[in-house]
Structure 1
Amino acid sequence: MTSSLLSCCLLFITVCPTDGFLEFTLARCEFNVTDVNKAEYILSLFYERKEYIRYSSSLGKFVGFTAYGVMNAERLNNDTAELSQRKGETERYCRRNAGIWKETVLSKSVSPSVRLSSSTSSSGRHPSMLVCSVYDFFPKQIQVSWLRDGQKITSDVTSTEELADGDWYYQVHSELEYTPRSGEKISCVVEHASLDKPLITDWDPSMPESERNKIAIGASGLVLGLILSLAGFIYYKRKARGRILVPTN
Protein backbone atom coordinates (compact mmCIF):
# COMPACT_ATOMS: atom_id res chain seq x y z
CA MET A 1 0.00 0.00 0.00
CA THR A 2 1.17 3.49 -0.69
CA SER A 3 1.99 5.69 2.27
CA SER A 4 -0.10 8.76 2.81
CA LEU A 5 0.67 12.36 3.55
CA LEU A 6 -0.23 13.47 7.04
CA SER A 7 -0.69 17.15 7.81
CA CYS A 8 -0.82 18.41 11.37
CA CYS A 9 -1.85 21.96 12.16
CA LEU A 10 -1.39 24.24 15.13
CA LEU A 11 -3.61 27.31 14.97
CA PHE A 12 -3.10 30.63 16.73
CA ILE A 13 -5.81 33.28 16.45
CA THR A 14 -5.45 36.92 17.37
CA VAL A 15 -8.74 38.82 17.50
CA CYS A 16 -8.90 42.61 17.47
CA PRO A 17 -11.03 44.47 20.09
CA THR A 18 -13.67 45.33 17.48
CA ASP A 19 -16.24 42.89 16.20
CA GLY A 20 -15.12 40.64 13.36
CA PHE A 21 -12.13 38.60 12.25
CA LEU A 22 -8.80 40.40 11.87
CA GLU A 23 -5.67 38.23 11.76
CA PHE A 24 -4.38 34.76 12.55
CA THR A 25 -1.19 32.74 12.22
CA LEU A 26 -1.17 29.13 11.08
CA ALA A 27 1.78 26.80 11.70
CA ARG A 28 1.65 23.30 10.26
CA CYS A 29 3.79 20.28 9.47
CA GLU A 30 3.50 18.10 6.40
CA PHE A 31 5.34 14.80 6.27
CA ASN A 32 5.28 11.35 4.74
CA VAL A 33 4.97 8.59 7.32
CA THR A 34 7.77 6.60 5.68
CA ASP A 35 10.35 9.36 6.29
CA VAL A 36 9.54 11.87 9.01
CA ASN A 37 12.97 13.47 8.58
CA LYS A 38 11.64 15.11 5.43
CA ALA A 39 8.91 16.92 7.37
CA GLU A 40 8.18 20.41 6.07
CA TYR A 41 7.42 23.29 8.44
CA ILE A 42 5.08 25.96 7.03
CA LEU A 43 4.17 29.21 8.79
CA SER A 44 1.40 31.31 7.22
CA LEU A 45 0.10 34.74 8.27
CA PHE A 46 -3.42 35.84 7.27
CA TYR A 47 -5.10 39.22 7.37
CA GLU A 48 -8.84 39.49 6.67
CA ARG A 49 -8.84 35.81 5.67
CA LYS A 50 -6.16 36.37 3.02
CA GLU A 51 -2.67 34.87 3.32
CA TYR A 52 -0.12 37.63 2.84
CA ILE A 53 3.17 35.97 3.85
CA ARG A 54 4.49 32.43 4.30
CA TYR A 55 7.65 30.72 5.54
CA SER A 56 8.45 27.26 4.15
CA SER A 57 11.33 25.14 5.44
CA SER A 58 11.69 23.54 2.00
CA LEU A 59 12.48 27.00 0.59
CA GLY A 60 14.27 28.21 3.70
CA LYS A 61 12.81 31.70 3.41
CA PHE A 62 9.66 33.85 3.55
CA VAL A 63 7.50 34.52 0.50
CA GLY A 64 5.06 37.44 0.20
CA PHE A 65 1.72 37.28 -1.60
CA THR A 66 0.67 40.93 -1.28
CA ALA A 67 2.60 44.18 -1.45
CA TYR A 68 2.67 44.29 2.35
CA GLY A 69 3.72 40.63 2.45
CA VAL A 70 6.51 41.09 -0.08
CA MET A 71 7.90 44.05 1.91
CA ASN A 72 7.92 42.04 5.14
CA ALA A 73 9.31 38.92 3.44
CA GLU A 74 12.30 40.92 2.23
CA ARG A 75 12.87 42.30 5.72
CA LEU A 76 12.57 38.89 7.44
CA ASN A 77 14.79 37.13 4.91
CA ASN A 78 17.56 39.57 5.81
CA ASP A 79 17.13 38.76 9.51
CA THR A 80 19.47 35.82 10.21
CA ALA A 81 18.11 35.39 13.74
CA GLU A 82 14.54 35.05 12.43
CA LEU A 83 15.55 32.50 9.78
CA SER A 84 17.55 30.53 12.34
CA GLN A 85 14.54 30.42 14.66
CA ARG A 86 12.26 29.13 11.89
CA LYS A 87 14.82 26.50 10.92
CA GLY A 88 14.87 25.37 14.54
CA GLU A 89 11.08 25.07 14.53
CA THR A 90 11.35 22.53 11.72
CA GLU A 91 13.41 20.23 13.92
CA ARG A 92 11.79 20.99 17.28
CA TYR A 93 8.16 21.20 16.24
CA CYS A 94 7.82 19.05 13.12
CA ARG A 95 10.36 16.24 13.07
CA ARG A 96 10.26 15.56 16.78
CA ASN A 97 6.45 15.42 16.95
CA ALA A 98 6.20 13.53 13.67
CA GLY A 99 8.27 10.74 15.21
CA ILE A 100 6.06 10.68 18.28
CA TRP A 101 2.84 10.63 16.24
CA LYS A 102 4.21 7.86 14.03
CA GLU A 103 4.99 5.63 17.02
CA THR A 104 1.92 6.35 19.15
CA VAL A 105 -0.82 6.87 16.57
CA LEU A 106 0.13 5.82 13.06
CA SER A 107 1.52 2.44 14.16
CA LYS A 108 -1.87 1.44 15.60
CA SER A 109 -4.27 -0.40 13.32
CA VAL A 110 -7.57 -2.27 13.50
CA SER A 111 -8.43 -4.94 10.94
CA PRO A 112 -11.65 -4.55 8.93
CA SER A 113 -14.72 -6.74 8.77
CA VAL A 114 -16.20 -7.53 5.34
CA ARG A 115 -19.76 -8.29 4.27
CA LEU A 116 -20.94 -9.18 0.76
CA SER A 117 -24.51 -8.65 -0.39
CA SER A 118 -26.39 -8.58 -3.69
CA SER A 119 -29.01 -6.31 -5.19
CA THR A 120 -30.51 -5.37 -8.54
CA SER A 121 -28.37 -3.16 -10.75
CA SER A 122 -29.74 0.36 -11.21
CA SER A 123 -27.91 1.22 -14.43
CA GLY A 124 -29.56 -1.38 -16.62
CA ARG A 125 -26.26 -2.43 -18.20
CA HIS A 126 -26.11 -5.57 -16.06
CA PRO A 127 -28.86 -7.47 -14.24
CA SER A 128 -27.01 -7.92 -10.96
CA MET A 129 -24.88 -5.96 -8.52
CA LEU A 130 -22.65 -7.06 -5.65
CA VAL A 131 -21.79 -4.76 -2.75
CA CYS A 132 -18.65 -5.27 -0.69
CA SER A 133 -19.05 -3.38 2.60
CA VAL A 134 -15.95 -2.97 4.75
CA TYR A 135 -16.44 -1.82 8.35
CA ASP A 136 -14.55 -0.78 11.50
CA PHE A 137 -10.99 -0.35 10.24
CA PHE A 138 -8.16 2.02 11.17
CA PRO A 139 -6.16 3.79 9.80
CA LYS A 140 -8.21 5.33 7.01
CA GLN A 141 -6.20 4.22 3.97
CA ILE A 142 -7.58 1.03 2.40
CA GLN A 143 -7.74 -0.68 -0.99
CA VAL A 144 -10.85 -2.61 -2.13
CA SER A 145 -10.88 -4.49 -5.44
CA TRP A 146 -12.71 -7.36 -7.18
CA LEU A 147 -11.61 -10.66 -8.71
CA ARG A 148 -13.49 -12.76 -11.23
CA ASP A 149 -12.06 -16.28 -11.53
CA GLY A 150 -8.78 -14.94 -10.16
CA GLN A 151 -8.55 -12.00 -12.58
CA LYS A 152 -8.84 -8.40 -11.38
CA ILE A 153 -11.97 -6.56 -12.54
CA THR A 154 -11.32 -3.02 -13.73
CA SER A 155 -14.70 -2.00 -15.19
CA ASP A 156 -18.23 -1.53 -13.81
CA VAL A 157 -16.83 -0.89 -10.31
CA THR A 158 -17.71 2.14 -8.18
CA SER A 159 -16.62 2.85 -4.63
CA THR A 160 -17.37 5.39 -1.94
CA GLU A 161 -14.75 7.42 -0.14
CA GLU A 162 -13.60 6.21 3.25
CA LEU A 163 -16.42 7.31 5.57
CA ALA A 164 -15.63 8.27 9.18
CA ASP A 165 -17.83 6.64 11.80
CA GLY A 166 -16.99 9.33 14.36
CA ASP A 167 -15.26 6.85 16.68
CA TRP A 168 -11.82 6.68 14.96
CA TYR A 169 -13.06 3.85 12.73
CA TYR A 170 -13.95 4.02 9.04
CA GLN A 171 -16.13 2.20 6.52
CA VAL A 172 -16.14 1.97 2.73
CA HIS A 173 -18.44 0.35 0.16
CA SER A 174 -17.57 -0.95 -3.30
CA GLU A 175 -20.17 -1.94 -5.91
CA LEU A 176 -19.69 -4.31 -8.83
CA GLU A 177 -22.29 -4.48 -11.61
CA TYR A 178 -22.07 -7.76 -13.50
CA THR A 179 -23.86 -10.42 -15.52
CA PRO A 180 -23.76 -13.77 -13.66
CA ARG A 181 -22.14 -16.76 -15.38
CA SER A 182 -22.45 -20.40 -14.39
CA GLY A 183 -19.52 -21.74 -12.38
CA GLU A 184 -17.75 -18.39 -11.97
CA LYS A 185 -16.04 -17.24 -8.75
CA ILE A 186 -16.27 -13.59 -7.72
CA SER A 187 -14.30 -12.28 -4.74
CA CYS A 188 -13.86 -9.00 -2.89
CA VAL A 189 -10.24 -8.23 -2.01
CA VAL A 190 -9.35 -5.90 0.86
CA GLU A 191 -5.80 -4.61 1.48
CA HIS A 192 -5.09 -2.71 4.69
CA ALA A 193 -2.17 -1.89 6.97
CA SER A 194 -3.62 -4.15 9.69
CA LEU A 195 -3.50 -7.22 7.43
CA ASP A 196 -0.44 -9.39 6.78
CA LYS A 197 -1.95 -10.41 3.45
CA PRO A 198 -5.01 -9.37 1.39
CA LEU A 199 -8.36 -10.38 2.88
CA ILE A 200 -10.30 -12.26 0.19
CA THR A 201 -14.03 -12.86 0.62
CA ASP A 202 -15.77 -15.10 -1.94
CA TRP A 203 -19.35 -14.56 -3.04
CA ASP A 204 -21.67 -17.58 -2.82
CA PRO A 205 -24.21 -17.12 -5.64
CA SER A 206 -26.16 -20.27 -4.76
CA MET A 207 -28.35 -18.51 -2.25
CA PRO A 208 -28.32 -14.74 -1.74
CA GLU A 209 -28.77 -13.60 1.84
CA SER A 210 -32.18 -12.03 1.13
CA GLU A 211 -33.45 -15.28 -0.39
CA ARG A 212 -32.13 -17.32 2.54
CA ASN A 213 -34.03 -15.05 4.91
CA LYS A 214 -37.25 -15.40 2.89
CA ILE A 215 -36.99 -19.19 2.86
CA ALA A 216 -36.25 -19.32 6.58
CA ILE A 217 -39.30 -17.15 7.34
CA GLY A 218 -41.51 -19.20 5.00
CA ALA A 219 -40.35 -22.50 6.49
CA SER A 220 -41.02 -21.23 10.00
CA GLY A 221 -44.54 -20.18 9.00
CA LEU A 222 -45.22 -23.56 7.39
CA VAL A 223 -44.10 -25.48 10.47
CA LEU A 224 -46.19 -23.26 12.74
CA GLY A 225 -49.23 -23.77 10.49
CA LEU A 226 -48.83 -27.55 10.61
CA ILE A 227 -48.57 -27.51 14.39
CA LEU A 228 -51.71 -25.40 14.75
CA SER A 229 -53.60 -27.63 12.29
CA LEU A 230 -52.58 -30.77 14.17
CA ALA A 231 -53.60 -29.24 17.49
CA GLY A 232 -57.00 -28.32 16.05
CA PHE A 233 -57.54 -31.82 14.68
CA ILE A 234 -56.69 -33.46 18.04
CA TYR A 235 -59.05 -31.08 19.86
CA TYR A 236 -61.85 -31.90 17.43
CA LYS A 237 -61.42 -35.68 17.85
CA ARG A 238 -61.50 -35.40 21.64
CA LYS A 239 -64.65 -33.30 21.58
CA ALA A 240 -66.29 -35.81 19.22
CA ARG A 241 -65.68 -38.73 21.62
CA GLY A 242 -67.43 -36.94 24.47
CA ARG A 243 -70.70 -36.35 22.62
CA ILE A 244 -73.92 -38.28 23.55
CA LEU A 245 -75.88 -39.31 20.50
CA VAL A 246 -79.68 -38.93 21.00
CA PRO A 247 -81.84 -41.09 18.68
CA THR A 248 -84.53 -39.33 16.77
CA ASN A 249 -87.95 -40.59 15.82
Structure 2
Amino acid sequence: MASSFLSFSLLFIAVCSADGFLNYVLTRCEFNSTDLSDIEFIRSYVYNRLEFIRFSSSLGKFVGFTEFGVKSAEQWNQGPELAQMRAEKERYCVPNINLEYQAALTKTVKPSVRLHSSSPPPGEHPIMLVCSVYDFYPKQIRVSWTRDGQEVTSDVTSTEELPNGDWYYQVHSQLVYTPR
Protein backbone atom coordinates (compact mmCIF):
# COMPACT_ATOMS: atom_id res chain seq x y z
CA MET A 1 0.00 0.00 0.00
CA ALA A 2 2.78 2.44 0.89
CA SER A 3 4.66 1.80 -2.35
CA SER A 4 1.66 2.62 -4.58
CA PHE A 5 1.13 5.93 -2.73
CA LEU A 6 4.80 6.77 -3.08
CA SER A 7 4.86 6.13 -6.83
CA PHE A 8 1.76 8.28 -7.34
CA SER A 9 3.27 11.09 -5.28
CA LEU A 10 6.54 10.97 -7.20
CA LEU A 11 4.70 11.07 -10.52
CA PHE A 12 2.65 14.04 -9.35
CA ILE A 13 5.72 15.92 -8.23
CA ALA A 14 7.55 15.16 -11.48
CA VAL A 15 4.65 16.39 -13.64
CA CYS A 16 4.00 19.53 -11.62
CA SER A 17 7.60 20.56 -11.23
CA ALA A 18 8.73 19.82 -14.77
CA ASP A 19 9.33 22.91 -16.90
CA GLY A 20 9.02 22.66 -20.65
CA PHE A 21 7.95 24.30 -23.83
CA LEU A 22 4.75 23.93 -25.81
CA ASN A 23 4.94 24.09 -29.59
CA TYR A 24 2.06 23.11 -31.86
CA VAL A 25 0.48 23.74 -35.25
CA LEU A 26 -3.25 24.29 -35.59
CA THR A 27 -4.84 23.66 -38.99
CA ARG A 28 -8.46 24.54 -39.63
CA CYS A 29 -10.94 25.06 -42.43
CA GLU A 30 -13.69 27.63 -42.03
CA PHE A 31 -16.61 27.22 -44.41
CA ASN A 32 -20.28 27.92 -45.11
CA SER A 33 -20.69 25.54 -48.04
CA THR A 34 -18.73 23.02 -50.07
CA ASP A 35 -17.95 25.67 -52.71
CA LEU A 36 -14.17 26.19 -52.84
CA SER A 37 -14.57 29.98 -52.84
CA ASP A 38 -16.43 29.79 -49.48
CA ILE A 39 -13.60 27.89 -47.78
CA GLU A 40 -10.75 29.48 -45.84
CA PHE A 41 -7.72 27.38 -44.95
CA ILE A 42 -5.80 28.62 -41.90
CA ARG A 43 -2.62 27.17 -40.38
CA SER A 44 -1.38 28.75 -37.14
CA TYR A 45 2.01 28.11 -35.54
CA VAL A 46 1.98 28.53 -31.76
CA TYR A 47 4.80 28.53 -29.22
CA ASN A 48 4.00 28.68 -25.50
CA ARG A 49 0.40 29.78 -26.16
CA LEU A 50 1.50 32.65 -28.43
CA GLU A 51 0.66 32.48 -32.11
CA PHE A 52 3.74 33.69 -33.92
CA ILE A 53 2.88 33.03 -37.57
CA ARG A 54 -0.24 32.20 -39.60
CA PHE A 55 -1.05 31.25 -43.18
CA SER A 56 -4.50 32.25 -44.40
CA SER A 57 -5.77 31.26 -47.83
CA SER A 58 -7.85 34.45 -47.90
CA LEU A 59 -4.64 36.50 -47.79
CA GLY A 60 -2.66 33.93 -49.77
CA LYS A 61 0.45 34.42 -47.66
CA PHE A 62 2.06 33.98 -44.24
CA VAL A 63 1.68 36.74 -41.65
CA GLY A 64 3.93 37.08 -38.61
CA PHE A 65 2.75 38.29 -35.20
CA THR A 66 6.06 38.36 -33.32
CA GLU A 67 9.54 39.47 -34.32
CA PHE A 68 10.51 35.88 -35.07
CA GLY A 69 7.17 35.31 -36.86
CA VAL A 70 7.61 38.36 -39.10
CA LYS A 71 11.10 37.20 -40.13
CA SER A 72 9.82 33.66 -40.76
CA ALA A 73 6.86 34.96 -42.78
CA GLU A 74 9.15 37.01 -45.01
CA GLN A 75 11.31 33.94 -45.63
CA TRP A 76 8.41 31.50 -46.14
CA ASN A 77 6.59 33.87 -48.50
CA GLN A 78 9.66 33.74 -50.77
CA GLY A 79 10.16 29.97 -50.60
CA PRO A 80 8.42 26.72 -51.53
CA GLU A 81 6.38 26.83 -48.30
CA LEU A 82 4.02 29.39 -49.86
CA ALA A 83 3.10 27.21 -52.85
CA GLN A 84 2.61 24.22 -50.55
CA MET A 85 0.24 26.16 -48.25
CA ARG A 86 -1.75 27.51 -51.19
CA ALA A 87 -2.35 23.93 -52.38
CA GLU A 88 -3.41 22.73 -48.90
CA LYS A 89 -6.87 24.27 -49.18
CA GLU A 90 -7.86 21.82 -51.92
CA ARG A 91 -5.87 18.89 -50.55
CA TYR A 92 -6.85 19.19 -46.90
CA CYS A 93 -10.13 21.10 -46.69
CA VAL A 94 -12.23 19.92 -49.61
CA PRO A 95 -12.36 16.16 -48.78
CA ASN A 96 -12.97 16.84 -45.09
CA ILE A 97 -15.58 19.53 -45.69
CA ASN A 98 -17.54 17.27 -48.01
CA LEU A 99 -17.81 14.77 -45.14
CA GLU A 100 -18.61 17.39 -42.50
CA TYR A 101 -21.13 19.19 -44.68
CA GLN A 102 -23.09 16.00 -45.28
CA ALA A 103 -22.88 15.00 -41.59
CA ALA A 104 -23.85 18.32 -40.03
CA LEU A 105 -24.67 21.27 -42.20
CA THR A 106 -27.40 19.63 -44.27
CA LYS A 107 -29.37 18.83 -41.11
CA THR A 108 -32.28 20.93 -39.92
CA VAL A 109 -33.84 21.31 -36.50
CA LYS A 110 -37.49 22.28 -36.21
CA PRO A 111 -38.17 25.31 -34.04
CA SER A 112 -40.10 25.40 -30.81
CA VAL A 113 -42.67 28.19 -30.79
CA ARG A 114 -44.17 30.09 -27.87
CA LEU A 115 -47.11 32.42 -28.48
CA HIS A 116 -48.40 34.64 -25.68
CA SER A 117 -50.13 37.98 -25.18
CA SER A 118 -48.84 40.86 -23.14
CA SER A 119 -49.93 44.38 -22.30
CA PRO A 120 -47.89 47.10 -23.98
CA PRO A 121 -46.88 50.27 -22.13
CA PRO A 122 -49.71 52.70 -21.28
CA GLY A 123 -50.92 54.82 -24.18
CA GLU A 124 -50.32 52.04 -26.71
CA HIS A 125 -52.77 49.57 -28.24
CA PRO A 126 -54.47 47.38 -25.65
CA ILE A 127 -52.98 44.02 -26.66
CA MET A 128 -49.67 42.73 -28.00
CA LEU A 129 -49.14 39.18 -29.23
CA VAL A 130 -45.59 37.90 -28.97
CA CYS A 131 -44.33 34.94 -30.99
CA SER A 132 -40.97 33.60 -29.81
CA VAL A 133 -39.28 30.96 -31.95
CA TYR A 134 -36.43 29.04 -30.32
CA ASP A 135 -33.78 26.41 -31.03
CA PHE A 136 -33.93 26.08 -34.81
CA TYR A 137 -31.24 25.43 -37.42
CA PRO A 138 -30.33 26.67 -40.00
CA LYS A 139 -31.02 30.30 -39.28
CA GLN A 140 -33.16 31.06 -42.34
CA ILE A 141 -36.75 31.29 -41.06
CA ARG A 142 -39.76 33.46 -41.73
CA VAL A 143 -42.29 34.40 -39.06
CA SER A 144 -45.50 36.03 -40.32
CA TRP A 145 -48.85 37.04 -38.86
CA THR A 146 -52.22 36.46 -40.54
CA ARG A 147 -55.68 37.88 -39.83
CA ASP A 148 -58.70 36.41 -41.59
CA GLY A 149 -56.36 34.52 -43.93
CA GLN A 150 -54.49 37.67 -44.99
CA GLU A 151 -50.90 38.45 -43.99
CA VAL A 152 -50.60 41.37 -41.57
CA THR A 153 -47.63 43.69 -42.13
CA SER A 154 -48.60 46.82 -40.17
CA ASP A 155 -47.96 47.01 -36.42
CA VAL A 156 -45.52 44.09 -36.66
CA THR A 157 -41.96 44.21 -35.32
CA SER A 158 -39.46 41.38 -35.46
CA THR A 159 -35.90 40.76 -34.39
CA GLU A 160 -33.22 39.38 -36.67
CA GLU A 161 -32.26 35.74 -36.18
CA LEU A 162 -30.24 35.71 -32.97
CA PRO A 163 -27.62 33.02 -32.28
CA ASN A 164 -28.10 31.09 -29.04
CA GLY A 165 -24.39 30.30 -28.84
CA ASP A 166 -24.97 26.57 -29.37
CA TRP A 167 -25.47 26.51 -33.17
CA TYR A 168 -29.21 27.15 -32.73
CA TYR A 169 -31.06 30.42 -33.33
CA GLN A 170 -34.04 32.34 -32.01
CA VAL A 171 -36.30 35.10 -33.34
CA HIS A 172 -39.06 37.16 -31.73
CA SER A 173 -41.98 38.88 -33.45
CA GLN A 174 -44.63 41.16 -31.93
CA LEU A 175 -48.04 42.11 -33.30
CA VAL A 176 -49.82 45.07 -31.70
CA TYR A 177 -53.57 45.03 -32.32
CA THR A 178 -56.98 45.99 -31.04
CA PRO A 179 -59.22 42.95 -30.48
CA ARG A 180 -62.50 42.79 -32.37
TM, length-normalised to structure 1: 0.51
Match of 2:162 in 1: 161
- The answer to whether the 8 A contact 2:135-2:170 is kept is no
Are 1:54 and 1:63, in contact at CA under 8 Å, matched by a contact in 2? yes
Question: Identity of aligned pairs, percent?
Answer: 43
> For structure 2, which runs of at least 5 residues remain unmatched after alignment?
1-17
Aligned residue in 2 for 1:79: 79
Q: 1:30 to 1:36 in 2, by over 3 A?
A: same
Q: Which amino acid is 1:35 matched to?
A: D
Match of 2:127 in 1: 128
Match of 2:106, as an amino acid?
Answer: S
Q: Secondary structure at the match of 1:142?
A: coil
Q: Are the structure 2 counterparts of residues 66 and 155 from structure 1 closer, same or farther at C-alpha, using a change threshold of 3 Å?
A: farther
Separation in 1 of the partners of 2:83 and 2:151? 57
Q: What secondary structure sits across from 1:172 in the alignment?
A: strand
Q: Do the aligned partners of 1:53 and 1:70 also contact (CA within 8 Å) in 2? A: yes
Which residue of structure 1 aligns with residue 106 of structure 2? 107
Paired position in structure 2 for 1:30: 30
Q: Over aligned residues, Cα RMSD in angstroms?
A: 3.4
Change (3 A) 1:162 1:58: closer
Structure 2 residue identity aligned to 1:72: S
Asked if 2 retains the 8 angstrom alpha-carbon contact of 1:36 and 1:98, the reply is no
Change (3 A) 1:102 1:160: closer
Which one has more relative contact order, counting CA pairs under 8 Å at least 6 apart?
A: 2
1:185-229 CA deviation, whole Å, 9 max, x = no partner? xxxxxxxxxxxxxxxxxxxxxxxxxxxxxxxxxxxxxxxxxxxxx
User: Which stretches in structure 1 are left out of the alignment for 5+ residues?
Assistant: 1-16, 183-249
Q: 1:36 to 1:129 in 2, by over 3 A?
A: farther
* 33 and 86 in structure 1: CA distance in 2 versus 1, 3 angstrom threshold: same
TM-score (normalizing by structure 2): 0.66
Residue correspondences, number: 160
Between 1:62-71 and 1:42-51, the stretch displaced more is 42-51
Distance 1:36 1:26, change over 3 A: same
Structure 2 match to 1:142? 140
Kindly indicate whether residue 68 of structure 2 is the aligned counterpart of residue 45 of structure 1: no
- State the Cα deviation string for residues 8-29 of structure 1 (Å, max 9, x = none): xxxxxxxxx538x855433221
Amino acid at match of 1:56: S
Q: Does structure 2 retain, via aligned residues, the 8 Å contact 1:45–1:53?
A: yes
1:83 CA displacement: 2.6
Provide the residue aligned with 1:222 in structure 2: none
How far apart, in 1, do the equivalents of 2:47 and 2:123 lie? 53
